[in-house]
Each structure stands twice: as structure tokens, then as C-alpha cells.
Amino acid sequence: MYSEWDEVVVLPPQFIHELRSEPALDFLEPATDDSHGYIPGFEPFNGNPAVSKVVTKYLTKALTKLTKPLSDEATLVIRQVLTDSADWHQIVPQKDIIRIVSRLSSRVFMGEELCRDEEWVRVSGDYTAVAFSVANELNQWPRRVRPVVHWFLPSCWRVRGILAECHKSLKPHLEQRNARKMAAVARGETKAVFDDSIEWFDQECKTKHDPATDQISLSLVAIHTTSDLLQQTMLDLASHPELFQPLREELVRVLSAEGLKKTALYNLKLMDSVIKESQRMKPVLLSTWRRLVKKDVELSNGFVLRRGQKVIATNTHMWDAEFYEDPLTYDGYRFLNMRSTDEEKHAHLVSTSAKHPAFGHGAHACPGRFFAANEVKIALAHLLLKYEWKLPEGSSFKPVPYGMSFLPDPTATLLIRRRKEELDLESLDC
């Protein structure tokens, strides 16, 4: 079929597992091409392989010690964005949740000082939001003219301008870091001065690299998808308020016994199920499995994928009764109940499968899904215990398909107010 990703071969879902580790299928090249990574201003979409290495080698291994900084930052940023008002007031999830997730992610990626630099938070968040929007605009043009037409589009000028602001904002911080590192070397110190993603990229990229572009690349894959999932989960809970009380009871029971630790997050099984169900009902893309065929591949049914073809598998089977019972009904307990069946290993939020490929599947499944899961759970713990929220009377929301993107309703609003929490998260052992 023809799509914004050019002509693609659409595979049935059973082949996702068959091809999960097929070396003849390339992941980075189509991702870069379809995201316009070759266009000036879109360099952060350029499929930098160091991003995956940084996530798997450093970020995922550091999850145990990241719970406290994430929770500390959640305390601050959620209060700033949502306020402590006990009166019902309106928020716009699309705008407000990305501010929260941007701060949480930046705390881990860039440290306490830089994550609270309002200029960096603003420009990096602006780039994430604007670049995806402009990428969708570029998709309206024939692929062959995109390398030229971008020079004449004001929206592309804006993307380049924001990226330049990102470089300008980060420059003084990098200069200060380098000065501190040089001073440490002069003193004969061998221990790393910093332990954040800027340092991780320095370790992985032995040749010259662009720290600002590195950070935006990391933000694109982290902030965009994580804020999308948190936003959709909040909207789904507002539509299913019967889930609020059992979720809060689970939080109080688990966190009182275990503290706010990585192991406790694992044991928030109802929350895990609710988030996974929101992701099933509204994945961030209609296809999260996309490859370019580098040499012919014969499938088990005899069909041959030809070199040069782009192949995808869609996520729409997650709404098919062949794969899920009552698939169009939101069931927050769906994956919790699945844990007591022979499909238990596929019931976890971070589990990938051909049946639920929202995080991808196989060799190129999202490497940051473990961090994203913890980040969403920590944010939800603060939100559920400290706030009540609901849909405005008479309102509803509906996800918006836009090409291959599947967006949360951009017009959706929530009414929210502060509540007295049953458990003081700030006092818990992390």
C-alpha cells in the first residue's frame, strides 16, 4: 500500500515474531528517512546508533538509582504545572503533561541543575513538539520534492531556529562542564565528574559529536512517546473513574511495605495493566514495526520480501477479536488477569510480542521501555495520590489518526484538583 512512508508491504502480525531478529531487515535507515533526518533542522532524527547504546548500556542499568531523582523531580514539577489548588481547574494534557515528562526525563538525562534551566526545558520541549508537527506537514508533500521544498516552508525555518536555540542554550553548560572535567584531571582525579547522558555520549562517541543534537535525539524518543502514554492513561482513567480507588489502594499497600523502589514499581501490577491497556487501545503509531529489506528474505509461507522493499506490520490487530476478547472495550484489569494464564510472560508493560507490539518487537524493540515504564509509574503515583481529575461535564475525547501517527485528542481537557494523599511519597525510602 501507499502511505506517508512511501510504498510499503504490510505483513500479517504472525510475521512480526518470525522476523523479530532477521539481520537482512534494517531498522535505522527507514526510521531516519521517514523522519526526514536528511533535512537541515531534523538532524536529531538522524538515526544515531549511539542513542540506543546509551540507553541500553547506561540508562537501563542505572534504573535502580534513578527512582529517587525521578520522584523528587515529580514532586516539584507536578506542583508547578498542576498547582496545589483544591478547587477544580482546567488543564490541557497535551501541553501540561509534556512539561512534566520533559522535566522528569531531563533530570535523569542532564542532571539536577540543567533540568531546571527554564530556557533549556522550553526550547527542547518546543523542538520536540514542533518537529513532529512539521514532519507531518512535510509528509503531505511528494517524497521526491521534500529535499527541496523544505527551504521554502516557514515551518521548517522555525524548526531550524529552535534547534539553533537548543545549541545556544546548552553551550554555556557544556563549557562549564569541560572546565570542571579539566580541573579534575589537573588534580589527578580519575573518577568521572558527571554521571548523566551528556557524559554517556562522550564515552560512546569517541569521535567528534554534537551534544545538543545528542540530547534532542534522546528527548525525541523519550519525551514524545512517554508523554503520549501518560497523557492517554490519564484520559482513560477519567473515562473509567472506577479504577481510581483500587489504583490508590494498590499504591498505599505496595509502597508502604516496600518504599518507592524499582522492585515496588514492578509490584504495582494493576497500574502496569492499566498503562498497558491504554497503550493497546492507543499506541503512539499505527505501526511500530518498520524495516527496510537489505537482501531477499523468504517467509515461512513462501512469500519473498524483495531487496529494497519497505515492510511494516500494523498495530491495528490489537483491536481484533482474534487476539483480544472484547477488544474495543477498555479493561484496566485485562493484563492483570492475563498474569494468571499461560500468557503471563506477555502481560507485563515492558513485555513485547507479536500480539502487543506497541513497543516494537524483537532485536529493535524500544530499548528505553524499561525507563519509560518506571517514569510513567512514578508520575502516576504522584498524580493518583495527590490529585483527583475528571472530564468536563458533557465532554469526551477521541484519538486522532494522522497518517501513521495516532495522536491523543489535542482538544481534550481535564478538570483537576489537589487532594490529601494517604501516603507521603517524599518520606518513602527510595
Q: What is the CA 104 to chain-centroid distance, rounded?
A: 12
Find out whether 205 is annotated in a ligand binding site.
no
141-149: Cβ within 8 A, 24+ apart:
143/6, 146/36, 146/39, 147/38, 147/39
Q: How far is CA 94 from CA 122, 230, 231, 371, in A?
A: 15, 10, 7, 21
Q: How far apart are CA 234 and CA 240, in angstroms?
A: 10
Q: Which of 110, 124, 122 is nearest to 177 (CA)?
A: 110
* Cell of residue 281, nine digits: 487501545
Pairing of strands 304-305, 310-313: unpaired
3-state helix/strand/coil string of the chain = CEECCEECEECCCHHHHHCCCCCCEECHHHHHHHCCCCCCCCHHHCCCHHHHHHHHHHHHHHHHHHHHHHHHHHHHHHHHHHCCCCCCEEECHHHHHHHHHHHHHHHHHHHHHHHCCHHHHHHHHHHHHHHHHHHHHHCCCCHHHHHHHHHHCHHHHHHHHHHHHHHHHHHHHHHHHHHHHHHHHHCCCCCCCCCCHHHHHHHHCCCCCCHHHHHHHHHHHHHHHHHHHHHHHHHHHHHCHHHHHHHHHHHHHHHHHHCCCHHHHHCCHHHHHHHHHHHHHCCCECCCEEEEECCCEECCCCCEECCCCEEEECCHHHHCCCCCCCCCCCCCCHHHHHCCCCCHHHCCCCCCCCCCCECECCCCCCCCHHHHHHHHHHHHHHHHHHEEEECCCCCCCCCEEECCEEECCCCCCEEEEECCCCCCHHHCCC
Residues of each annotated binding site? 366
Q: Per the annotation, where are the binding residues for heme?
A: 366
